[in-house]
Amino acid sequence: MQLEAGVAIAPSASPQQTILDEERIYAVIAKEFETGGEDKGLWTRLFSECGGDEIQTKVLYIKQRAERLISAERLRLEQAARDRAEEAARLERIRLENLSFWDLLMKKNFTKELQDKLQALSATRAAAMMLNSVKQNQLKEVSSLLSEEPLLIAVRDSDGCTPLHIAVLVNNQEMARFLLEKGGSALACLKNGYGRTPIENAKILRYGEMVKLLAAHSE
């Protein structure tokens, strides 16, 4: 935790701490005396003002040095609190934005904004992990990814296939059922880059049980 140039105080146990720890500040000053790391400018000025009295100089040095460090620490804590508040507000804006997009997706209202959002999301590492996890039947990983970003359920690979398309292609009914429960008929109606919905692929591949599963979620 940096207070001033050349002076650092070790961070406390909790990164969220907002209470000033004056004892740690005085410990820093004590360490300065032990290592010869005093603020030379401050010490020299006070030594002159005290007429060369080292004891009085030390008393005033500790007092004024502590005041400086306490002031710097208060500023740091205030800035940290502002940063946390701004980050919380940013995350809340993202959450509300994604809830809005999710509502559009579930209503099958594919606005340009929603399509742009899904296109951008499809180019992310999270999307690649999502699609690969579906292909590898990693249900736990898929669930974890969706808990962090629900819109990953509608991302696409280079062939325009969504996670549900992929689950159908590998004939994984458990994965398909899970994805349908998370996205319902909105997913069943999506077409890949070849213009086929998941159920159309299931029919072509003659996956009878998969067709039944998808039909139950199609409108």
The domains of the chain are located at: 2-106, 112-215
Residue 161: closest CA among 135, 143, 185, 182: 135
Residue 12: what pLDDT? 47
- Judged by DSSP in three states, 50 sits in coil
**Predicted local confidence at residue 156, as pLDDT:** 95
**Per-residue pLDDT tens listing for the chain (219 residues):** 444 544 545 454 444 455 788 889 999 999 999 999 999 999 999 999 999 999 999 999 999 999 999 999 999 899 999 999 998 887 777 677 777 888 888 888 888 989 999 999 999 999 999 999 999 999 999 999 999 899 999 999 999 999 999 999 999 999 999 999 988 778 888 899 999 999 999 999 999 999 999 998 876
Tokens found for residue 197? 């919905």
What's the rounded Cα separation, in Å, for the pair 219 and 214? 10
Classify 112-215 by CATH class.
Answer: mainly alpha
Structure pTM?
A: 0.58
Cα dist. 34→8, 29, 56, 172, 199 in Å?
15, 9, 18, 68, 76
Q: Reduce the DSSP state of residue 116 to 3 states and report it.
A: helix
* Distance from C-alpha of 72 to C-alpha of 3, rounded to nearest angstrom: 6
